[in-house]
Amino acid sequence: MYRYDQYDQAIVDARVDEFRDQVERRLSGQLSEDQFKPLRLMNGLYLQLHAYMLRVAIPYGTLDSRQMRMLAGIARDYDRGYGHFTTRQNLQFNWIKLADTPDILARLATVQMHAIQTSGNCIRNISADQYAGAAADEVADPRPWAELIRQWSTFHPEFSYLPRKFKFAVIAAEEDRAAMRLHDIGIRLVTRDGELGASIYVGGGMGRTPMISHLVRDFVGSDDLMSYLEACLRVYNRYGRRDNIYKARIKILLHEIGADEYRRQVEEEFLLVKQLGIDPPRAELERITAMFAPPAFDPAAPDAVDRSDPDFAVWLDQNVAAHKQPGYAIVNVSLKPIGGIPGDADADQIALLADLGAAYSFDELRVTHAQNIVLPHVAKRDLYAVWRRLTKAGLAEPNLDLITDIIACPGLDYCSLANARSIPLAQKIATRFADRQRELGELKLKISGCINACGHHHAGHIGILGVDKKGTENYQLSLGGSGAQDVSLAKITGPGFSEDGVVDAIERVTDRYLATREPGERFLDTYRRVGFEPFKDAIYG
């Protein structure tokens, strides 16, 4: 894992001191809320419906046990005993007091964490494949590149006031586990003639105008990466629509001028930027890469797993993924117990995950964009012990990528921008389909409480959007989205539903799927084969 050097630590510590002073001035009344709001947002502190909310960055979703334990401690000492893992691999605390925030940030800084650039029109926390360093299908570990981008983008003066927020995702496998194509810039590491480089995709995003990114350059070598990204951002910074918040994201720029014209301008700018010498020497990427060296796997670790406990076998088949190292496996810890709150974990659960990471996963944990946790490097001989401990803590729901593994944003229970609640709906759906979920197979259901699409509903095999219909909650259903390598945007079915109505409508959709699917087809495959109409008929017919 990456370790801060003296510069990283110094800027994070300095930021804590600066914010402490700003908070004091706000509490004493020297600063008005209008003056203070941009300052607190730069430190991840939002004001939500019931309290302040602190969003803590988890760079590329990777953290160690000490950091995870710190999050548990903060939940316990400063919040109401829990946290919410988000689709951008971050953690949100829902009940933070303003006066405590500097102390919380100071504690986070002791474990090399912060809340910088988790809000505002800057380059946000870089997300990545949660299986990085463990996946059999990756060409390299994407995290050193993500870390390089983190360093380049941290406090980048030119990109602190972009037209709008800016989100990166970095992957290095064919399978896209990070919704890479739905980010402002998505990067896929590839090799060409034995050299590692990046394919650059630009202009994806969700929100009110969802778009899939365009391939802008198929190969950028590591010696040119920073210059190329700088050029991508400069063209956006120059032409992005600062006059209209709904048109300010880079996806709109690409849509308006076209990917070819954008590419032409980026290439032109790149030639200028390249002369500035901002690309770090290769030794820097090598220094970072060395910190992500594979852990000391036991080459003699046995591959066999005793499947005689049937409940364990179900979990094994659903939540455990193949590892590149023989004798090891990737464990997905579901934060989606049936009827629970998607993505929430209480302090004891977070602390347990920290312990399991330390004992069984070479001290590493990951947060996934589907709001689950990953133990990336578990020896197969330890799987049963890990499962037993997860089971006791209510963390062994065997539902990865099934209909009850729902992504849901906080919605109207917490969020001041929401139109409708997301969580109670997720709970109802999970409860309704719990006994059928395995029969239905892979089915990604995603719920957002408003058009901002924090819950990725555009990318759901089934997506649900909460809308406000004359003061009552209403839900729009959409079908056929995907955030994976087979990326697509979901299509709205028609008129919306009440909360119970939308659960019934989903049942009509899944019934139609079961009646029409061919052997081996997932819901999405059937949908793509037979098209939208049969499902629409099933819903409204």
Token duo for residue 84: 């919410």
Q: Which does 87 bind (CB under 5 to 8 A by kind): other proteins, ligand SF4, ligand HEM, none?
A: ligand HEM
Q: Which of 331, 330, 304, 463 shows the shortest CA–CA distance to 397?
A: 331
Does residue 455 contact residue 445 with C-beta atoms inside 8 Å? no
Among positions 415, 423, 429, 462, the unique one binding ligand SF4 when judged by CB under 6 A = 415
410 lies in the binding site for ligand SF4 (CB under 6 A): yes
SS3 437: helix
Distance in Å, CB of 205 to ligand SF4, minimum: 13
Q: Which is nearer to other proteins, 191 or 472 (CB)?
A: 472
Residue 411 φ/ψ region, left for φ over 0, alpha for ψ in the -120 to 50 degree band, beta for the rest = left
373 vs 368: CA distance, rounded Å: 6
Question: How many C-beta neighbours within 10 Å does residue 59 have?
Answer: 23
Shortest separation between residue 205's beta carbon and ligand HEM, angstroms: 3
Strand partners, 219: none
| The pair of three-digit structure tokens given for residue 82, joined into one six-digit string | 């829990």
Among 452, 467, 501, 508, contact with ligand HEM (rule: CB under 6 A): 452
Site membership for ligand SF4, residue 409 (CB under 6 A): yes
Partner interacting with residue 473 (select from other proteins, ligand HEM, ligand SF4, none; CB below 5-8 Å by kind): other proteins
195-202, strands of its sheet edge to edge: 127-128, 168-171, 185-192, 195-202, 214-221
Q: Which residues sit at the interface with other proteins, rule CB under 8 A?
A: 26-27, 29, 32-33, 47-52, 80, 95-99, 341, 412-414, 416, 418, 421, 423-424, 427, 471-473
Contact range with ligand SF4 by CB under 6 A, out of 71-79, 340-348, 380-388, 445-453: 445-453
Residue 249's binding partner out of other proteins, ligand SF4, ligand HEM, none, with CB under 5 to 8 Å set by partner kind: ligand HEM
CB of 13 to other proteins, least distance (A): 24
Q: Which is nearer to other proteins, 25 or 241 (CB)?
A: 25
Q: How far apart are the first and last CA of the chain?
A: 54
Contact (CB, 8 A) for 185 and 217? no
**Residue 51 token pair:** 């309290």
CB of 89 to ligand SF4, least distance (A): 15
Pairing of β 472-479 and β 328-333: unpaired
- Is residue 409 near ligand HEM by the rule CB under 6 A? yes
Least Cα distance to 341 among 90, 127, 83 occurs for: 83
Rounded to a whole number of angstroms, the minimum distance from the CB of residue 409 to ligand SF4 is 3
421 binding partner (options other proteins, ligand HEM, ligand SF4, none; Cβ < 5 to 8 Å by kind): other proteins
User: Considering Cα of 413, then 418, then 424, then 430, what sign does the dihedral take?
Assistant: negative
Nearest to 441 by CA among 504, 519, 374: 519
Stated as kind and residue range, the H or E segment containing 299 is none
Please report whether residue 465 would count as binding ligand HEM according to CB under 6 A: no
Q: Give yes or no for a contact between 53 and 331, defined as CB atoms under 8 angstroms apart.
A: no
Contact with ligand HEM (CB under 6 A) among 313, 417, 514, 530: 417
Scanning 14-22, 302-310, 405-413, 468-476 for contacts with ligand SF4 by CB under 6 A, the matching segment is: 405-413
Which of 354, 453, 479, 509 contacts ligand HEM by CB under 6 A?
453
In a 3-state reduction of DSSP, which class is residue 464? strand
By CB under 6 A, the residues from 176 to 205 that bind ligand SF4 are none
Point out which span in 67-75, 171-179, 280-288, 411-419 binds ligand SF4 (CB under 6 A). Answer: 411-419
Query: Helix, strand, coil % (nearest 5) of the chain?
Result: 40, 20, 40
Q: How many residues bind ligand HEM (CB under 6 A)?
A: 22
User: Total number of residues binding ligand SF4 (CB under 6 A)?
Assistant: 13
Q: Quickly list H helices, 202-320.
A: 225-239, 250-257, 259-274, 282-291, 310-319
**In this structure, are strands 364-367 and 320-322 parallel, antiparallel, or unpaired?**
unpaired
Q: How far is the CB of 251 from ligand SF4 (least distance, A)?
A: 17
Q: Which of 90, 112 has the CB closer to ligand SF4? A: 90
Contacts of 66 (CB under 8 A, 6+ apart): 111, 354
Scan for tokens 């629970």, then name that residue: 340
The interface partner of residue 167, options being ligand SF4, other proteins, ligand HEM, none and the CB cut-off 5 to 8 Å by kind, is ligand HEM
Q: Tell which positions 87-146 bind ligand HEM, by CB under 6 A.
A: 87-88, 92
Residue 440 has which token pair? 């239905």
Q: Which does 526 bind (CB under 5 to 8 A by kind): ligand HEM, ligand SF4, other proteins, none?
A: none
Name the site residues for ligand HEM (rule: CB under 6 A).
46, 48, 53, 86-88, 92, 164-165, 167, 205-207, 249, 409-410, 415, 417, 452-454, 456
Name the site residues for ligand SF4 (rule: CB under 6 A).
409-411, 415, 417-418, 448-450, 452-455
